[in-house]
Amino acid sequence: MVCGGFACSKNALCALNVVYMLVGLLLIGVAAWGKGLGLVSSIHIIGGVIAVGVFLLLIAVAGLVGAVNHHQVLLFFYMIILGLVFIFQFGISCSCLAINRSKQTDVINASWWVMSNKTRDELERSFDCCGLFNLTTLYQQDYAFCTAILGVWLAMRFRNQKDPRANPSAFL
């Protein structure tokens, strides 16, 4: 019996779909774990990762059932869906590789102004920065929501205050 025959192809397809099922379960588990620990606060990101995990799990189950039963119609639709997923992933990969640094800056700049103040505040706390590209002098409206420079402001204010217990004629 040669490899590439019916049994070998069936076993390879079953093994591949088991791996897809594990990856789908892993995506769902990591998303739930990240939400449970508070690592990711955006419900949209968590929902997207869980949706991708469930989609991959359903496709893997369909492929596994089609491979085990040698179901022609189920294998056809499985093949079409995997082909569409490949084209989608290939397109996303090419667009990610094609975008240069200035385009990345433009995309980030455009999305920054659409975000809510809560999302901006979460990003600033997460990345320990103030405002877009950490330039608070150019973006004064972000300055009000920024807490990363609070320590500097308090230290400067405290440093310039006079100690009430000190000698009144002493400098500061």
List, for residues 47-89, the tens digit of each pLDDT value: 888 999 999 999 999 999 988 888 888 888 898 998 888 888 8
Percent of the chain residues topping a pLDDT of 70: 76
Q: What is the DSSP string of 121-132?
A: HHHHHHHT--SG
- State the pLDDT confidence band at 109, using cuts at 50, 70 and 90: confident
Residue 33 has pLDDT above 60, yes or no: yes
Quick one: average pLDDT of 131-150? 54
The single-letter DSSP state of residue 162 is P
**pLDDT confidence of residue 72:** 86
